[in-house]
Each structure stands twice: as C-alpha cells, then as structure tokens.
Amino acid sequence: MGQIIIHEVGLRDGLQMEKQTVPTEKKIEWADALIAAGVDILQLGSFVHPTKVPQMADTDALFRHYQEPGRRPANVILAGLVLNEKGLERGMACGVDMFCMGVSASETHSRKNTGMSIAEATERIIAMGKQTVAFGKRAQVSVQSAFGCGFEGYVPPERVLGIVRKFLDAGLKNISLADTAGHATPEAVEQLFGAIHRLDPSAECTCHFHNTYALGIANCRAAMNAGVQYFESSIAGLGGCPHTKVAGGNVCTEDFVHYLHRIGIRADIHLDRLLETASSVAQYFARDLPGMVYKSGPIPTPAPVH
Amino acid sequence: MGQIIIHEVGLRDGLQMEKQTVPTEKKIEWADALIAAGVDILQLGSFVHPTKVPQMADTDALFRHYQEPGRRPANVILAGLVLNEKGLERGMACGVDMFCMGVSASETHSRKNTGMSIAEATERIIAMGKQTVAFGKRAQVSVQSAFGCGFEGYVPPERVLGIVRKFLDAGLKNISLADTAGHATPEAVEQLFGAIHRLDPSAECTCHFHNTYALGIANCRAAMNAGVQYFESSIAGLGGCPHTKVAGGNVCTEDFVHYLHRIGIRADIHLDRLLETASSVAQYFARDLPGMVYKSGPIPTPAPVH
C-alpha cells in the first residue's frame, strides 16, 4: 500500500450543499485550521457562476488570500473545481495549484449538469486537462456517477473504463472516481480501481465517496486495498443535503484519519486539530453533522495500559 | 464465503440502552415484523434482574408468547442473553432456543460487570455453555471487549485467543467476538477471526460491532472476508447511548442488508419490512436513529435502465 493522501473537499463539496452562505473570513479560519492539521490537498472552492452557487462566489478571493507570502506552508496543495474554460482562466489568475474537473458516466446526469453528452463532455475535459498540464499545473480528471446514478441507477463499469481509457491515452494520469449518488460497494470499488490499475499501473487514483448508504469508510478501505492513494473527504462529514434527514455527506475526514491512526498510518496528521475544526463547523451550522469521532471523542492513544 | 446469517439484537442490546421502557405489546409488534422480514436469529431480551435493567423485565413473557402455537415460523431461532445459572434456568423454562453468554477480555470490564476475574468468568461460562448443550439447546459463547476496552484501551489478541481456545477445547464452537467499545478496525477483525479459523476451522464465528467510530460496516465486510457467517446487528442502529450525542449503536440491520442486496446476497430477506420496522422504532423513540437507509430510502432494485 502506498502513502495515503488526504484531499479535503469540505469547503467545496460540503459548503455548496448548504443553504447558509459562509463568510470568507470563516472559510479562511477553517482552511487555516485544516492546513495546520496537515491535510495534503485542500479544495478551497469551485469556479462556477456566483448566481448559480452563491456559496462559491468568493472562490477567487480565497485563492488570492493564500497567494500572499507566509499564508500557507509549501507542502499543501490548493485545489479548485472547474467546470469549463472560463473557470480554468479564473483559476489560473488566482493561483490554483491543482485543477479538478470531471465527466459524468451517466448520460442523464451529464446532460443535466453540462448540457453535453458524455462523449462531448469527455472531449472538452480532456482538452482542459491538457491545457492545465501545459500551464504547469496539476490536473485531476474524474468520472462522476462512476458507481451508479441517482437518475439512471446502474452504470456499466465498461462505460466508466471507456472514459478512463481516454483520460489515460491523453496522458492525464490523476484519475478520480466519484460516487456522486453513494451507490458504491466495496466490491464495485475493488473491481473498478483494479481494472484501472490493470489498464495503466502508473495511474494515480483518487476516490470520492458519499456515505449515503453507510458504506463510506468500507468503500475507502476497499479502495486502499485496490491501491488507491488519494482520498477525498469532508470535515465533519459535510456534503449531505441539509434540507432532508438524509445524512449522505462525504466520507468524514476526521473519522477516516482516526481509523488510519488506529492502523498506524499518517500519524503526522493532527487529529486533534481536525476534531476542533469539525466541532467549529458543526457549531457554526448549529446542527449535528454526520461525523462520529468529533462527538464521541477519539480512542485515547497510546492505549491505556492495565 | 458461506451463507450470511443475520442475528438481530435490537430488542436486547438496543432497548437496554434506552431510558424509555417499551411495552411488551410494542416489542411483540417489532419482533413479529422482524420475523416476517426474515431475520435468522432474533434476540428477544436478556435474563437479568428486573430491578437492574427494567427494560428487560418482560423477557420471560416475550419468550412464552412465542411458545404459543402458530406464533412464529419454524425457521427463526429465538435467542436470549444469560449472565448466570439463574438466567439459564429462567430461559430453559420459557423456551429459549439459543443461549448467548460471554466473558470480557478486559479484567476491569469483567470485574465491573460480573465481580469475577476473566479466568473465573471463563470457567463459569464454559460450565453454563456445556449445560446448555446438555439441555439440547444452542450455546453461543462470546468474548466481549475483544477489540479493545473503554476502561483499559488495548486488549492483546493473545488474551482473546486464550479464552477462545478454552471455549473450543470445551466443545463450544459457536464463538462470538463482541466489540463492546467500538474499537475494532477491519485489520484487527481479519487478524482475530483469521486466527480463530486457524485454531479450529470448524468454529462457527459471530461478530458484534458497534459503529461508535464509523467503522461498523467496514468491520462487517472484513469479517465476511475472514469467513465469519453470523452477524449481530440492530434494527435502525439502536444500541448507542441515547443520553449523549454519540450515535455509537450496533451495526444497523437494514443498512447491512441493503449492502448485502447490492452485492447479490440474502435477497430472501425483505428489506422493505426491515425499513418499515426501523421507521416504526424511530417514530416510537421520537428521534433520529443512526440507520441511514430508513431515512434515504433504498437504492431502487432492479436498477432503472437507461
């Protein structure tokens, strides 16, 4: 198993689901805490039209904040989600290190989100990915709805692998499979990531799971077994829809890190800082968030000796 | 992988954690629904002193209810938890099919719970197990705090395996490892159950996990991989402490069955009945319970076709 890399997406995938807009100063406070905790990649926001997703209106400002000298350690990668060339342009102008972009493996989802077919969207994302690399930046290309779709249900693995093959052929090796609808099972995770590894052992794989059906960390563990190194997760398990009772947020960062610490991995990440941040986020939204360990407290380490 | 057996413990491990006592009629309504849903083993309650755990005061009455002709199908096993010889006597008198009994692998936990050392408690449980078998009934012998202890922290696997070896030597082959404190990780689960399988390939293993630190189903999947066949779980994820915000209940039955259905296992269990029952339990306690799928609804099966 390679090094496990934590890619925190709460400020993007988490906050975009919230009705309540978070002030830029609050986002910076949480981002600073997450950086101090030692997350490897921090996704600060997405470059979408501010009238469409008002929660993301300050994405450029956030990146510009971290362009100032001394505002962040050199070893954190700041990532941003882009949907189109305009976003890429904005992100280049404000200092994004890593551009995340994706295609849905569901025709319905693709057309609803982008107005394009899968084939059209794939072509466009590949062009954007190549441009990103040409700019000297990191490009992460993802397949959304890779394990099933809320509209279409079953998504054939061959369709996902067809898109992945096109990414790899274009030299885009940082491949993410996103389980937008929460349909993944550990079995499907091992199958799909195993297939990508056979397609190209040099692919760098990222997984992005939602805990909608209680399989979030089980899927992460399956991904670890399948050689995935990059794990997208949200502080406090943000990312569910706050207007329903469904707590289908992203895999919770601090719960996942708590697990990693239990098995002796990534002891360099400061769990206490993550737990403080999760509590701060939950307090801000004034509701219980899906994370477990910020409520229970961690298992004491080192273990008490009898 | 062998057949997966669902052992529902919500009426015992779930309700004993609740302050609010559930009337016998309500318990029967839920038990009937769980039987109709097709759970394999149904733990109706524990034989403890009613002043100690008032929620379990009607355990004998519940078993007697199901002694009446026509009140249950032949293929469900009714189980009860016993702590001592008195409980065994009560259970024999009211028609228990399967007696569950256990020893803690933590000295502190053992002394707090039973006033006995691990060695003394093991001897006693083995005697009770043998008596159960002599009566022609099923005996399940468990090691509690098998993966760690809330008081002591780390519990050495060798200590757990020492107790298990004594059980096996006494001819008691239905071995349960209970993760009372929720400390298990998939890695520890594979290690311990793997070791039991090497000690005695004919052992029939049961697992009992709490989701305190978000690893419940990840641990179940590790147990499946390690050849465990019997899975204890609670409807709606009951079993956490309702007086704190910690949702550390048992693995949720309907969430686990939803996962099994996704991978083509135990399609004979009626998920819809389980979901109805979970909703009924949550409604009764008038609060959100940890189960996810009763809130989100299941993923439609068969998958919609595009």
The domains of chain B, with CATH numbers, are 5-296 (3.20.20.70)
Residue type, A211: N
How many angstroms from the chain centroid is the CA of residue A58? 19
Residues of chain A positioned with their CB less than 8 A from the CB of B187: 263
As a whole number of angstroms, the distance between CA A252 and CA A1 comes to 21
As a whole number of angstroms, the distance between CA A127 and CA A82 comes to 13
Average pLDDT over residues B9-29: 93
Most confident of the following: A96-105, B1-10, B16-25, B296-305: A96-105
Residue of chain A whose alpha carbon sits nearest to that of B249? A292
Q: How far is CA B286 from CA B23, B282, B283, in A?
A: 16, 6, 5
- pLDDT bracket for residue B261 (50, 70, 90): very high
* Cβ atoms within 10 Å, residue B173: 16
Instruction: Check A303 against B187: CB less than 8 A apart.
Output: no
Q: Nearest 5°: CA angle at B98, between B73 and B205? A: 110
pLDDT of residue B19: 85
Best residue in B109, B185, B217, B279 to probe A by mutation, most A CBs within 10 Å? B217
* pLDDT above 50 for B178: yes
Average pLDDT over residues A118-136: 97
Average pLDDT, chain A: 94
* B202–chain A nearest CA distance, Å: 27
As a whole number of angstroms, the distance between CA B85 and CA A6 comes to 52
* Cβ atoms within 10 Å, residue A136: 6
> Nearest CB to B185: which of A263, A292, A293?
A263
- pLDDT bracket for residue B17 (50, 70, 90): confident
Structure tokens at B97: 């099919």
Residues of chain B positioned with their CB less than 8 A from the CB of A109: none
Residue of chain B whose alpha carbon sits nearest to that of A252? B214
- pLDDT bracket for residue A241 (50, 70, 90): low
Residues of chain A positioned with their CB less than 8 A from the CB of B247: 292, 295
Instruction: Check B214 against A216: CB less than 8 A apart.
Output: yes
- pLDDT bracket for residue B303 (50, 70, 90): low
Q: Which residues on neighbouring strands pair with residue B206, listed in sequence order?
A: B176, B230
Residue of chain B whose alpha carbon sits nearest to that of A288? B245
* pLDDT above 90 for B83: yes
Q: How far is CA A136 from CA A78, A128, A139, A190, B263, in A?
A: 14, 13, 9, 32, 42
Q: Are strands A204-208 and A77-82 parallel, antiparallel or unpaired?
A: unpaired
As a whole number of angstroms, the distance between CA B186 and CA A254 comes to 17
Best residue in A262, A271, A275, A301 to probe B by mutation, most B CBs within 10 Å? A262
As a whole number of angstroms, the distance between CA B71 and CA B44 comes to 14
* B222–chain A nearest CA distance, Å: 9
Average pLDDT over residues B2-30: 93
pLDDT per residue over A43-85, tens digit each? 999 999 999 899 999 999 999 999 999 888 888 999 999 999 9
Cis peptide before B302 (omega within 30 of 0): yes
Q: Nearest 5°: CA angle at A166, between A84 and A144? A: 55
* Cβ atoms within 10 Å, residue B261: 16
Residue linked to tokens 């009714």: B78
As a whole number of angstroms, the distance between CA A84 and CA A102 comes to 10
As a whole number of angstroms, the distance between CA B209 and CA B190 comes to 13
Helix (H, G, I), strand (E, B) or coil at B120: helix
Q: How far is CA B265 from CA A1, A66, B4, B5, B169, in A?
A: 29, 50, 8, 10, 33
pLDDT of residue A120: 97
Pick the more confident residue, B65 or A247.
Answer: B65
Best residue in B215, B244, B271 to probe A by mutation, most A CBs within 10 Å? B215
Instruction: Check A292 against B258: CB less than 8 A apart.
Output: no
Checking ipTM against 0.90, whether it exceeds it is yes
Catalytically active residues of A, by annotation: 241
Q: A120 Cβ partners below 8 Å, 6+ apart?
A: none
pTM of the model: 0.95
Q: Length of chain A, please?
A: 306
Encode burial over B131-147: b for 16+ CB neighbours within 10 A, e otherwise. Answer: bbbeeebbbbbbbbbbb
Residue of chain A whose alpha carbon sits nearest to that of B212? A292
- Of the listed ranges A144-153, A261-270, B80-89, the least confidently predicted one is A144-153
> Nearest CB to A248: which of B262, B296, B303?
B296
* A141–chain B nearest CA distance, Å: 25
Helix (H, G, I), strand (E, B) or coil at B164: helix
Catalytically active residues of B, by annotation: 241
| Max intra-chain CA distance, chain A | 63
Contact A250, A212 (CB under 8 A): no
